[in-house]
Amino acid sequence: MVSTTIPDPGLAPAPDPPLLSIGGLAAEAASVLRDAERRGLPRPRYVTVSDTQRVGFQFDDDPASFDALAQWADSFGGTIDTHPIHRADGSPAFLRRVNFTYRCVPVEAYAIVKAETAAT
């Protein structure tokens, strides 16, 4: 007698999503920006895509960017982290980051704001 065991699909790990090309990552970055625009969110000033499979959005060196990042976190989910840092010239600043996943792509939105103008 032959016994056949059918694996339970609920126990199998989900496969990793395929790696995207730079063009694919740029298209995902554009999708995030379109969604942010439709939701009325503040716009970043700088966009990066990396072959490390990450998309980044940098906001202005302005305390208002911290509110913008909070709006992005509310809209896209994710976590907010704020850390005191020193710029290359030694001046104190705060780095605030929002990390979330958008259609399987890790996204980081961030701002670096001078410490004397930042309200954390």
pLDDT of residue 116: 78
Whether residue 83 is contained in a domain is answered as yes
Whether residue 15 is predicted with pLDDT greater than 80 in this model: the reply is no
Whether residue 105 is contained in a domain is answered as yes
pLDDT of residue 36: 98
Whether residue 5 is contained in a domain is answered as no
pLDDT of residue 118: 59
Whether residue 8 is contained in a domain is answered as no
CA–CA distance, 30 with 90 (Å, rounded to integer)? 34
Rounded to an integer, the average pLDDT of 58-86 is 95
More confident residue, 6 or 57: 57
CA–CA distance, 98 with 104 (Å, rounded to integer)? 16
Work out the percent of the chain whose per-residue pLDDT is above 90. 76
Question: What is the span of the domain harbouring residue 51?
Answer: 22-114
Total domains present in the chain: 1
Rounded to two decimals, the pTM is 0.80
